A and B are shown apart, each in its own frame.
Chain A
């Protein structure tokens, strides 16, 4: 809405918006700040905001005591692996639905979406049982598969909406220009689809990273990712605020940065194209 407003109003908007923004962001800011305090400063009364002795010892302790790197590695493998596997399965499917649509395409898409609506708790025991039988409980492979399956509908949908934006005339032009199907895919379609595929990957890594039902219920010690690692702080250890903060900061930092890059794609991905 490009409307001319007085500078005064712009000042007021700026102050208000920054105030609200900082308020919403405050819990994250406070966590990051606390992670650099000593435990004593973390629970000091009244609370200290910036005037404390900055220290990195909490990060060292968290890593040393709980082997943070192992949880991080599990998170990376589960989020990255499930997304990659999902994209590999979804690209051909989305591709054919976007470019060779049939009467059933819409029904298939909606049905895929409906599987996403299945409440996880409703199938918790069967999955648990299957995992025990197949020896997948507390394994990264098992989680990669489950997280891939719960995100597959979103991946297919996002890719589908991106592919649909590639105009059919361009593909026809390539055909007229003498490109074979292989050349058409290699030189025309893929370069045009890469931005869409990239943002799909980005958003799904975020979703997989933060998934906290299956990761909590299907892992114990070996395959537990950061979600489960943090949940372990809900026991008495949680009273060590500085360490809790350091662990939390490390758990959310990578995804916070990825998330900021993907904010433009967020809306489309999470509303299945219903809002653009």
Chain B
């Protein structure tokens, strides 16, 4: 159905190569997230798959068929854009029906599909409104509806939640995940937000400067980041990266320890420092610890309510088995 393969794909804008030769396979039914900082080429990659940009060289296969030079509409893919890209002069119903009308489908079938999509997405009451009269979340649903009715081989999402406020974003995240559970269709999702990547993906592709840094399941990336970039990018708060004697003692150039893998005590511990800012969330407590002699700030996460505050002297003990070791080249080694 929706297996997508990129084979030595490159993309250049003029003399600038934004994607060096890249190989990637996305299995049928998989929820794949492209994640990376802005400008890393993740959106360009998505647009290459969509056919909105021509590849400079290489091959794109969809369902084992060469799709490299197939126009976007013929690839059987549907896309949800960051700005939703709804047609402002059409009602919600006509927006959702548009791809079906373009496919010259008969009216009865169009109505059936539009109505069932509207039901799935709770848009029944809004079908005769214009996009301008809808809230951000509703517009997002219309955009998804327009994608669903085509019953595509794969869905492409280009940062679809970045225009929503925080509360709605969490809700829509769940809705998209549920949609994937129900449809079991291949989805490719682009975001710069690693939380979205971690919560939604079957497979995460971490990109930097057009290069794939690592591919894997969320927990693989969390447990065994392949290099310093992935280590720093995946996980929140960020992994603490420490250089110098403590790293050398463990035979590495750099060591990394996640905030949740450090134990905080009043009494003796491996390291010590002074609490700068303490963030008490109730469920967790975050300490930003200074004067440790390790790095400028060490972030520590303690479960539940822990009563240290600004200025307190505390002791830190990392879990030795969860320390990540990196060489001078930035690569992980065991």
The answer to whether any beta carbons of A and B sit under 8 Å apart in the complex is yes
Chain A proximity of B270: nearest CB distance (Å): 52
Chain A, interface size: which category?
Answer: 10 to 19
Closest to A166 in B: B88
Closest to B98 in A: A177
Given contacts A173-B79, A175-B72, A176-B73, is CB(A192)–CB(B89) below 8 Å?
Answer: yes
Q: Which residues of B26-75 are within 8 A (CB) of A?
A: 50, 52, 71-74
* Cross-chain contact of B50 among A167, A176, A178, A179 (Cβ < 8 A): A176
Query: A residues within 8 A CB of B126?
Result: none
Decide yes or no whether B77 CB sits under 8 A from chain A. yes
Give complex CA distance A86, B102 in Å.
33
Decide yes or no whether B240 CB sits under 8 A from chain A. no
Decide yes or no whether A67 CB sits under 8 A from chain B. no
Binary per-residue interface labels of chain A (171-212) against chain B in the complex, 1 for a CB within 8 Å, 0 otherwise: 011111111100100011001100000000000000000000
A-B contact count (CB 8 A): 56
Residue contact A172 to B103, C-beta cutoff 8 Å: no
Query: A residues within 8 A CB of B50?
Result: 176
Chain A proximity of B67: nearest CB distance (Å): 14
Q: Which residues of B87-110 are within 8 A (CB) of A?
A: 87-89, 98-99, 102-103
Residue contact A170 to B87, C-beta cutoff 8 Å: yes
Decide yes or no whether A169 CB sits under 8 A from chain B. yes
> Hey, which bits of chain B sit against chain A, CB under 8 A?
50, 52, 71-74, 77-79, 81-83, 85-89, 98-99, 102-103, 146, 150
Main secondary structure of the interface of A (DSSP, over half): helix
Residue contact A175 to B87, C-beta cutoff 8 Å: no
* 20 A–B pairs (Cβ distance < 8 Å), ordered by A: A167-B85, A170-B85, A172-B52, A172-B81, A173-B85, A173-B87, A173-B146, A174-B87, A174-B98, A175-B72, A176-B50, A176-B52, A176-B79, A177-B73, A177-B99, A177-B150, A178-B73, A179-B73, A179-B98, A192-B87
> Hey, which bits of chain A sit against chain B, CB under 8 A?
167, 169-170, 172-180, 183, 187-188, 191-192
Closest to A171 in B: B85
Give complex CA distance A125, B250 in Å.
90
Give complex CA distance A57, B74 in Å.
71
Q: Which 3 A-B pairs have the closest CB atoms?
A: A178-B73, A177-B99, A173-B85
Give complex CA distance A180, B99 in Å.
11
